[in-house]
Chains A and B, each alone.
Chain A
Amino acid sequence: GENVEQHPSTLSVQEGDSAVIKCTYSDSASNYFPWYKQELGKGPQLIIDIRSNVGEKKDQRIAVTLNKTAKHFSLHITETQPEDSAVYFCAASNFGNEKLTFGTGTRLTIIP
């Protein structure tokens, strides 16, 4: 089955700086890669996703890149703000398969 590794497990950045979280996956059949943000005491919420037919996707301050050859994808947050502090999860799946395999999470702390 699919295995997703995520690094780093914790990340602290100064407000205004950029944050990068990286994930690798094992199953070459995976073609859907969402990123979820989990705030304290809440359930995970989708913030951005990317499909295997594109290499990069951007939504305001958030961007995701995908390298299918190397089987890794990354989340980039620019101009970080205190409200970006949360746990971020990457995940992988393939079309038609409802099963999402999650990474181990990254606790991001934005230092004011």
Chain B
Amino acid sequence: DTAVSQTPKYLVTQMGNDKSIKCEQNLGHDTMYWYKQDSKKFLKIMFSYNNKELIINETVPNRFSPKSPDKAHLNLHINSLELGDSAVYFCASSKRLASGTSSYNEQFFGPGTRLTVL
């Protein structure tokens, strides 16, 4: 009954490897996000998808490639991992409101994936 789930919870890998993190939400939301939280706890958005379309793409190395096979899933693939990629990665989701409405919907966060690159 988890709302936003991520796998794996921990990921330890060598520099240069390619790895993926998976995210799934069962809230019926149509917008999903990836955030990176560094060792100082700074939380920064990386990507956002709405109905499988990319809507936010911050300045992130192109070694990071999000993939959204459907509205309930947003996976993050990272090529050629570097030491600086070590962080906790959070997936989140929300429901986009109809245009013209004056409200904002809460973003629900997953439990995070702690990535350690050795």
A-B interaction:
yes
Interface residues of A (CB under 8 A from B): 32, 34, 36, 38, 41-46, 49, 51, 87, 89, 93, 95-96, 98-102, 104-105, 107
Of the 9-residue stretches B14-22, B65-73, B103-111, which lies at the interface with chain A? B103-111
Cβ–Cβ contact B41 & A105, under 8 A: yes
Those of B64-109 within 8 Å (CB) of chain A: 90, 92, 94, 96, 99, 101-104, 106-109
A3 to chain B, nearest CB (A): 12
Q: Count A-B contacts at CB 8 Å.
A: 58
**How large, as a class, is the contact surface on chain B?**
20 to 34
**Nearest 9 A-B pairs (CB), nearest first?**
A43-B109, A102-B43, A32-B104, A105-B41, A46-B106, A44-B109, A43-B90, A43-B111, A43-B110
- CA of A101 to CA of B48 in the docked complex: distance in angstroms? 13
Given A100-B107, A107-B41, 19 more contacts at CB 8 Å?
A: A32-B104, A34-B106, A38-B41, A41-B111, A43-B4, A43-B90, A43-B112, A45-B109, A46-B106, A49-B106, A51-B103, A89-B43, A95-B102, A95-B104, A98-B50, A98-B55, A98-B94, A99-B56, A104-B40
